[in-house]
Structures are given as structure tokens and as C-alpha cells.
Structure 1
Amino acid sequence: MRQGNPVANLQGQRILLGVSGGIAAYKAAELVRRLREAGAEVRVVMTAAALHFVGATTFQALSGNPVRSSLWDEAAEAAMGHIELARWATRVLVAPATANSIRRLAQGHANDLLSTLCLATEAPLLVAPAMNRVMWAHPATQANVATLRARGVAFVGPASGDQACGEAGAGRLAETADILSALEATLAPPRLAGRRVLVSAGPTFEDIDPVRFIGNRSSGKMGFAVAAAARRLGAEVTLVAGPVALDTPAGVRRVDVRRAAQMREAVLAALPDHDVYIGAAAVADYAPAETLPQKLKKAGESLQITLVRTADILADVAAHAARPRLVVGFAAETQDLEAYARDKLHRKGLDLIAANDVSRAGHGFEGDDNALSVFWREGRRDIAHGPKTAVARELMDLVADRLEAEA
């Protein structure tokens, strides 16, 4: 029986629906009808493979607009039609998205109309996967999904159940109502809109003389990924960075420092009016008692350098009069991860601590991947091993959860 009211309000939205070549393409016809019931204007782009499953005439009749399927449409491309479509859309939805189409999006292909549009548009992208359960679970597919999520692409589904191939499991196209709800959710302000997030990242270098210093192996990649993830969620982000060779994330204000004392000064100066502080920097615990003005010459079989404790930036922020609502620390450990992390959480008065085991290959320092165990007084969440960009996004989702819980 036909519903009297749409399940979502998409009034005034211009939805570009990309249909790729899987058996679930037939379900996209119902999706077009429901999108229009919800108040959206719809234009459909089909891949060459999708045309083997459903004819373009069906989508033209349901959408009320011509269907595009080729970059080589002379009439449309005389006026750069693919760019016009990319600019026209307020949202891009790929449903169904096959394993191949997800791969193409992740790798930035632009040799058919749909992949080109996804590169050329500034509209948010929502992907609804549909494929065999084994294909969905394959590490290559999951890596491509993680890449897209890290770029801010949203996913809905897949659902679990019987599949056209005769198997059962995760891989079915999400229900139309769920896709519409996911689209509607993208219309809401980003989760950290209006929030101010301060992040410290990278190592500190403590100078012995003009040539030598005491440092550590931190690359800054995790902290920079956290700053980028916070910005993608709508936050205003300030990044205090130690000496690293990394580009500033788009839209992020960056302050460069070298020594622990300089990082503390920059963090405390920026602290007022921030909602969140995330101390992802690997700050030196000790620094030379003095920095020599000239290069220290080699002499004798041994050398003694007196080291003194540096200030504890995390503890200072947690105890500061301008303390943010959430203070998040990091703990790089090589043993007894939870015990050491929880001790640091309580001892320094933190709200959350993200701990990683840097003794494990492919985790933490210098690499592109990481895994975190995040602790707070009454709970824990483990973030699975993956690209630091994806790990950072999940961490910032947790931070958003905690802010919303305290509101």
C-alpha cells in the first residue's frame, strides 16, 4: 500500500543518482520514485554496465529528466554537460554501488561519466553498496571503503539477507527508506559545527647545541589526521605542530613550534574558548638543562648531559581555568596498554585517552596505519587497525558522541 507521506523530507534538494551495474539496479527505480515523493528533483546517470540490467527509459519516465550514461554525448558535452551536472547537484547518491564502482571512486578514476561527476562535484557523496557477500568482505573492498570514509564519503548499508546469487549475508542494497533517511541526515549541520577544537601534533626537538637535539620518532601523521577529521566534521580547528614535514589540512589554522616549552606556550595561548583539546603530540618528557651556543666537540669516551623535566602540557590544560569541555590525551605504550592508559587518564584529569601499542608492526610511529583503544572513566572503545585517516575519523565521531552526551 502506498504511503501517504514520504519517509524523508528532501524538499528542494537536487539529487544526482548514479546507478552502477549490479542486479540491484532494478531497485533504483523505486528509489527514484520515493526521492521525488520526498520533494527532491532527480537526475539519473547510469554506467554502461547498469544499462544491461535496467533500461534508461524507465529512469527517464520516473525522474522526468533525460538519463545520461556517456561522456561522449555530443549534444550534452558541447556545453560541458558533465560539469553542469556536477554543479547542479546538491547531493550525489550512488545506488547500487558495486565493488568495481567503489574501487573507481577510491582510486579517483575519471574515464566514465559517473566517476568523472563524482570527482568534479563539490556536493556531498552518499554510497549504497550492493554486491556478493564475499566481495563486500574482501580486504580490497574494505580498504577502498576505508579510503572513501576517510575522505568524508558517507555510506548506507549494505544490509544482510538473501542475495540474488543464492547466498546470504551482508551485501544487499539497503532498504529504500534507509537510503532516504541517510540522505536526509546529510542535510543536518556537521556534528562538530560551531565547535572549536585545538590539536597538538608531532614531536618536539630539544636542542643540545646548534647541531644536535633530543627527539623522538613521531611523524605527526596521527595528529594531523585528527585535525583534518575534526575540520571535516565542521569544527574550527587550530593545530599546534612540532617539527614535521606534513601539509596543513585544508581549513585548519596551524601554529608551528619546535620545543616542548614553545608547544606549551602556544597551546595555552590558544586554549580559551575551545571546546576540545586533543593532545596527540609526542612531547619530550625531558630536555637538556642548557642549550650550548656552539657545537659540542667530541672529547673523551663518554658524555654526560643533564636533563630536566619539561612541563606536562596535558595536565596543565586539564587543570587550566580555561579548561575545554573535553581534554583528550594520547598514550603510546609498549606493554600493559590499558593499565598505563587508565593511570594516565586519572592522574592527569583527562576525559578520554587514546592508547596505541607502538611495539606492534604497522601501528603508530612513522607509519600510515594505526589502531587505538580509547578509555574513559566508565568505558572503552577499540578502533580497529586501519589508515590513520579512518582511525582519526572514528575517534572524532567518539568525541562528538561524548560532547552530545554532555549537552
Structure 2
Amino acid sequence: MLTDKRILLIIAGGIAAFKSLDLIRRLRERGALVTPVLTRSAEEFVTPLSVSSLAGEKVYRDLFDLTDEAEMGHIQLSRSADLIVVAPATADLMAKMANGLANDLASTLLLATDTPVLIAPAMNVRMWEHPATQRNLTTLQGDGIGVVGPNEGDMACGEYGPGRMSEPLEIVSEIESAMRVGALSGQRVLVTSGPTHEPIDPVRYIANRSSGAQGSAIAEALVEQGAEVIFVTGPADAARPNGVHLVEVETAQEMMQAVQGTLPVDAAVFSAAVADWRVASASESKIKKTKDGLPVLSFAENPDILATVSQMKSGRPKLVIGFAAETDDVIENATSKRLRKGCDWIVANDVSPETGIMGGSENAVTLISDDGAESWPRMGKAEVACQLAERIAKALQ
């Protein structure tokens, strides 16, 4: 996958820089050609000699190295790679990237390039959660910069929380996804998945039996086709797909906010089993049994995510796909839902308990579009996902 692919690896200053050594080794194992760039602060954590020895290449460090300027130049260096990876990406370097600063070799390369960029943030949890860093992150993502991590865990400073740099193999997986060329290369696709949990009180909630397996499979199939996938999932049992931009939510309202935050996209696949209703006023304390009898719960309608996106007057995705999990009159109800919501396609299935589909490993779907209803044979959810991804690729061509 990475054989002879040219990776320009920028290593910024931070304790996570030591992971960059293993990242280089993993990339070289897969046949990648790694050109390393060290910031001055990175040299406090890893030595140019160790980086150069593992990469088998010269380490670039200084913007004003006149010999290098004569041989290659920082402009050529920034554009000769297939992908630029920043690992670790410190808060300082992210701020420079977001604001177009270029006062050292690393920031100049990043400003001068037209090559895709992937960053692996690493910093103290307070720095990561600071509004300025989050604003910079939003700006970078809006500029098309890929992001992997950070993970949650213990910090070198003794604190705990998000801010740990992703592990080298996680970064390699993202690099492989970024380098993949397929029918959906350059396309940005949103996928929602899993159930939502609507709180009744701190220990109880309303949910459904969706495992999220079909949504995860669809996201992976789209990644295989080369798409940039934003995966918004409720608290699903299924493993999270590799190579996606992951957004975890719990409630339908949170999912709505997350979906709106990802737009614009080229296509949206709404496979999540979103709860139609929520408790209007969830109790802040556990509801107890009393002599007064059963508690009375008042319900409120959740936002209709599919209809909201389908009926957008501007910025609507080129292709909007909904799912209809039905137990009766599957095709009739799904056809009606497509017209009511305003989406382009509906993927309908029968989730009656006897089918074993909800929460199972197989699915039997009917694709409903302007061309009518097309029933697919029962197959594994991964096969359904691949077939749907191919249809999406054709529709977006």
C-alpha cells in the first residue's frame, strides 16, 4: 500500500516526539520513503542522528541552510512528497498552521505546500481543550487538513484526559487511508450510525437494539473507495471503523449538532437508528418507586436529522441516503418515508425479531430511489456496505 510513497514527516517538539521513531520504522516496514523534518524544540526530545538512522535519509532542520536551498529548496521539498505528516503536532505548530505563520522550516513547508497534510495532535489536556486550540482545529479541518487523534490517557505531566498522540500504528492506518486512491477520492462523506440513548434519569434511558454494525461497515467501504469519511455514532456495540474522522455522541440532539458541524459534505448516509422521542424533562436524580404509583413521563419529539439535511435550501449534499427499519409493509412505508423526508435514496429493511437482522451479521435490504424499489439478496453487512459504496461512487461521478 505504501511502497515507494513519499512521506514528509515533520516532528515538532513534545514528549510524544519519541513515538515518531517507531512511526518511521513502521512506515519503512511498509515500503514508504520517509523524509524527516525536525523543529528546534523537537531536537530536545529526539536526536537528528536517531531520526536519520531510522529514516535512512538526511534530516532537514534549518530554513536558512543555503546548500539545501541550492539543491532542492524549501518549496520543492514541501511539494515533492505524496503526503505531509505532522507527528506530533503541538499546540504551537497548529496555531501557526491555522494562522498562516511561517517563521521556521516546518511552518514554512506547511504554508508553501499543495500536498495533502495529516496531523497527529499531542499536548497537555488543558492546552487541547483550550478554546484557542479548538478554534485552530476547526480552522485546520475546514482547510482540509486531516486529523488523527488525540487519544485519552495519562499525560507525562501527570494529568489525565485527551491529548496523547495516537499510537504509531493508528497513524499508519490514517496514512494508508489518506494515500488510498479510489472512485470516491476527493469526496467527503458523512455517515451516521448506531442507536441514540435518550436519558430518563441518570441511570435509565430509552434506546433500541441497533448494534451499529451496518453503519461501521458502510463507513469502511467508503474509505476503501477513497472517500474522506466523517463517522458520527451513538453508543453502538460495533467496533469503530478505521480511517474515519470519528465523532461520538449519545443523544439525538447531540447527533444533530454533530451532523450540522460536519457540513458541507458531498454525500450523507444516515444509517443511525435515531430515537424519535426523548423524555421532555429527564430527572437529575434516579426515579424511585413510591406509593403514589407509576411515574408519568412526558415526551418531546427529537430533531429529524434526515429531513433537515434533505430539505436544506443551500449547501445540501449531492446525495442524501436514509435508512428505514420497518416491521410491516416495508417497501410501502419506506417509499412514503423517502417522499416525506425529501432524501434521494432510502435503504429499507425488515427488522422484525424473526429476521435476526437488527443486531445480527446479515442484512436484506431494498434500495428505493426515483428508479423504483430494488431488492438485494440477503448477505453479510460488509457485502451490503460494499455494494452501497459502489452505487454511491457511481452517483457522485
In 1, the alpha carbon distance for the partners of 2:199 and 2:353 equals 29
Change (3 A) 1:313 1:209: same
In 1, the alpha carbon distance for the partners of 2:248 and 2:297 equals 27
Alpha-carbon contact 1:383-1:394 (below 8 Å) kept: no
In structure 2, which of residues 371, 374, 379 is the aligned counterpart of residue 378 of structure 1? 371
In 1, the alpha carbon distance for the partners of 2:388 and 2:353 equals 20
Question: What amino acid sits opposite 1:271 in the alignment?
Answer: L
Alpha-carbon contact 2:331-2:373 (below 8 Å) kept: no
Q: Which residue of 2 aligns with 1:303?
A: 295
In 2, the alpha carbon distance for the partners of 1:396 and 1:245 equals 22
For residues 60-75 of structure 1, the aligned pairs below 5 Å read none
In structure 2, which of residues 208, 211, 218 is the aligned counterpart of residue 216 of structure 1? 208
Q: Which residue of 1 aligns with 2:285?
A: 294
The answer as to 2:304 corresponding to 1:312 is yes
Secondary structure at the counterpart of residue 339 of structure 2? helix
Secondary structure at the counterpart of residue 208 of structure 1? strand
Structure number with larger C-alpha Rg? 1
Question: What amino acid sits opposite 1:347 in the alignment?
Answer: R
Q: Which residue of 1 aligns with 2:189?
A: 197
Deviation at 1:360, TM superposition (A): 5.8
Deviation at 1:353, TM superposition (A): 0.4
Deviation at 1:362, TM superposition (A): 4.4
The answer as to 2:244 corresponding to 1:252 is yes
1:40-77, CA deviations, whole angstroms, 9 ceiling, x for partnerless residues?
A: xxxxxxxxxxxxxxxxxxxxxxxxxxxxxxxxxxxxxx
CA RMSD after TM alignment: 2.3
Deviation at 1:304, TM superposition (A): 1.8
Q: Which residue of 1 aligns with 2:146?
A: none
In 2, the alpha carbon distance for the partners of 1:227 and 1:203 equals 16
Identity of aligned residues (%): 41
In structure 2, which of residues 268, 272, 276 is the aligned counterpart of residue 281 of structure 1? 272
Q: Which residue of 1 aligns with 2:393?
A: 400
In 2, the alpha carbon distance for the partners of 1:247 and 1:385 equals 22
In 2, the alpha carbon distance for the partners of 1:347 and 1:209 equals 33
In 1, the alpha carbon distance for the partners of 2:258 and 2:226 equals 23
Q: Which residue of 1 aligns with 2:125?
A: none
Q: Which residue of 1 aligns with 2:36?
A: none
Deviation at 1:398, TM superposition (A): 1.4
In 2, the alpha carbon distance for the partners of 1:254 and 1:87 equals 28
Deviation at 1:281, TM superposition (A): 0.3
TM-score, normalising length: structure 2: 0.53
Question: What amino acid sits opposite 2:229 in the alignment?
Answer: V
In structure 1, which of residues 332, 336, 350 is the aligned counterpart of residue 343 of structure 2? 350
Alpha-carbon contact 2:198-2:278 (below 8 Å) kept: yes
In structure 1, which of residues 256, 260, 264 is the aligned counterpart of residue 256 of structure 2? 264
1:307-365, CA deviations, whole angstroms, 9 ceiling, x for partnerless residues?
A: 11111000001122221000000000011111111111111111000000011644531
1:87-134, CA deviations, whole angstroms, 9 ceiling, x for partnerless residues?
A: 79xxxxxxxxxxxxxxxxxxxxxxxxxxxxxxxxxxxxxxxxxxxxxx
1:2-22, CA deviations, whole angstroms, 9 ceiling, x for partnerless residues?
A: xxxxxxxxxxx9xxxxxxxxx
Deviation at 1:201, TM superposition (A): 0.3
Secondary structure at the counterpart of residue 382 of structure 2? helix
Q: Which residue of 2 aligns with 1:330?
A: 323
In 1, the alpha carbon distance for the partners of 2:320 and 2:365 equals 17
Change (3 A) 1:289 1:360: closer
Question: What amino acid sits opposite 1:325 in the alignment?
Answer: K
Secondary structure at the counterpart of residue 295 of structure 1? coil
Alpha-carbon contact 1:363-1:371 (below 8 Å) kept: no
Deviation at 1:378, TM superposition (A): 2.1
For residues 4-403 of structure 1, the aligned pairs below 5 Å read 189-272=181-264, 274-299=265-290, 300-320=292-312, 321-359=314-352, 361-403=354-396
In 2, the alpha carbon distance for the partners of 1:383 and 1:374 equals 8
TM-score, normalising length: structure 1: 0.52
Alpha-carbon contact 1:356-1:363 (below 8 Å) kept: no
In 2, the alpha carbon distance for the partners of 1:400 and 1:380 equals 19
